[in-house]
Amino acid sequence: MERTLRVKRLYSLGDYRNIEFEDFLVAIPDQLLFDEGFTSEAYYLQLVNVELAYRRYINLAAKYPHGMAVEEAIKGLEMERENTLKSLKAIINGTTEA
């Protein structure tokens, strides 16, 4: 039987706005799932991943604040998306380290 570890965190952005992040580790064999050292480290890794995602979101939101001209924000976000897609493609193709 294989199991899943999951961490879910809701962050308040103020003014009744929230953002939610989740991290999943799937298909964990029982021998690892019942190893306290493994599960403790795995949960910690998930917490770090969620916190990192939140901090990256805050950084991204600061680069493109709501008061910024819409066209400028769209152009910047499209560039962010394009760079991220290029990075993912390179990782998938094995042309760069993950």
55 and 76, same domain (yes or no): no
The pTM score is 0.81
Structural domain including 48 reads 1-63
54 and 77, same domain (yes or no): no
27 and 39, same domain (yes or no): yes
41 and 77, same domain (yes or no): no
By C-alpha distance, which of 56, 21, 54 is closest to 6?
A: 21
Q: Let me know if 46 is exposed, middle or buried by CB neighbors in 10 A (0-12, 13-18, 19+).
A: buried
5 and 45, same domain (yes or no): yes
- pLDDT in single tens digits along all 98 residues of the chain: 678 999 999 999 999 999 999 999 999 998 998 999 999 999 999 999 999 999 999 999 999 998 999 999 999 999 999 999 999 999 999 987 55
55 and 84, same domain (yes or no): no
